[in-house]
Amino acid sequence: MTIRVGVIGTGTIGSDHVTRLSSQVVGSAVTAVFDVATERAQQIAAAVGAKAHASWEALVAADDVDAVLIASPGELHPDQAIACIRAGKPVLCEKPVATTVAGAIRVLEAEVAAGKRLVQIGFMRRYDAGYLDVKAAMTDGTIGEPLLAHAMHRNASVPDSFRGEMSMTDSVVHEFDTFRWLFDSEIAAVTVLAVKKSPLGSAELRDPQLVVLEMAGGEVVTVESFVNCQYGYDVRCEIVGSTGTVSLDNPRTTVVIGGAGRREHIPSDWRERFGPAYVHELQTWVNDLAAGQVTGPSTWDGYAATAIAEAAVQSYAKGQRVDIELVERPALYV
């Protein structure tokens, strides 16, 4: 059985996903694409034998599209995901499910009204081999009872248009989902602390920052966000348990020794670091669809991450701890 996928948005990650679904994932084919950048969409469609549609609505309605992957800008995600739900088509929606809590609730309500899970959110760290090992060590008793965690999320650089609060909505949003998933718990409160500013970022950019997450179960997570660290993409974490710790370093372990020094490779960006995780994410999604189910990160997970990001932006602006209030969790997501 081949799952025929339509991809909305063929920018950086959308075009990578088209390649993965066409040549790396077993059991899928890309039959349709849409992007407002018409020429690029046509080129990408031609390369994989897909049709470039004139609108995303036409792509969602197409008979030869069994499932949709949304990789357009975040503010478009609610309308596009809701159209897929109404058409009864499963959808893998890149994060965020919405850029506002109100938008996320609209998707939640549409899926609850449909009465079954159709939406998966693109939180690919849950499919990364390293994070899966961390999760196993936290749940199989290896480190005792998990108590706290330290994480870092560093990017080499960001464009001048990147504003400080985007560290929360675009970057640390991955940690919001990761630590909800690792601790199997909601986040009760968030505090964003300003740190001495790097002289190398744009004048507008407050960078680095320290984010403190208080989990509902009492565990505490510290996340360093540094989007202009210059040297590479460096995402790590350590979980401290009652009898041991588990830590996740960069995945390559090759060390070069020479010139009186020792060198280790640091990934250049998220595409390199999480490439295998994206393939695993898509393969699992396609396998699930062939089995008639959706099991990955849910609309609830997407809504919670957006609510935490919104609270983090408030904390960033006010310099204060902000409690996170979630709506009642619908039975569909229990």
For ligand NAP, the binding residues (CB under 6 A) are 8-14, 34-37, 56, 71-74, 76, 94-95, 122, 124, 170, 270
**Which of 56/303 has CB closer to ligand NAP?**
56
Least distance in angstroms from the C-beta of 292 to ligand NAP = 25
Select 59 or 190, whichever has its Cβ closest to ligand NAP: 59
Smallest gap from Cβ 274 to ligand NAP, in A, equals: 6
Q: What angle do CA 6, 12, 16 make, to 5 degrees?
A: 55
Alpha carbon of residue 163 to chain centroid: 19
Contacts of 47 (CB under 8 A, 6+ apart): none
Q: Pick the closer one to ligand NAP by CB: 19 or 245.
A: 19
| Minimum separation from the CB atom of position 232 to ligand NAP (A) | 16
Angle at 298 between CA 191 and CA 118, to 5 degrees: 155
Angle between helices 129-139 and 270-290 (to 10 degrees): 70
Considering the complex, what minimum distance in angstroms separates the CB of residue 271 from ligand NAP? 8
Question: In residues, how long is the chain?
Answer: 334
Q: Which residue is nearest to ligand NAP (CB)?
A: 11
- What is the C-alpha separation between 95 and 248, in angstroms, rounded? 23
CB of 308 to ligand NAP, least distance (A): 15
Q: Which is nearer to ligand NAP, 74 or 267 (CB)?
A: 74
User: Do 33 and 45 form a contact (C-beta atoms < 8 A)?
Assistant: yes
Q: Which is nearer to ligand NAP, 264 or 269 (CB)?
A: 269
Helix or strand (DSSP H, E) at 272: helix 270-290
For residue 267, cis peptide bond before it (omega within 30 degrees of 0): no
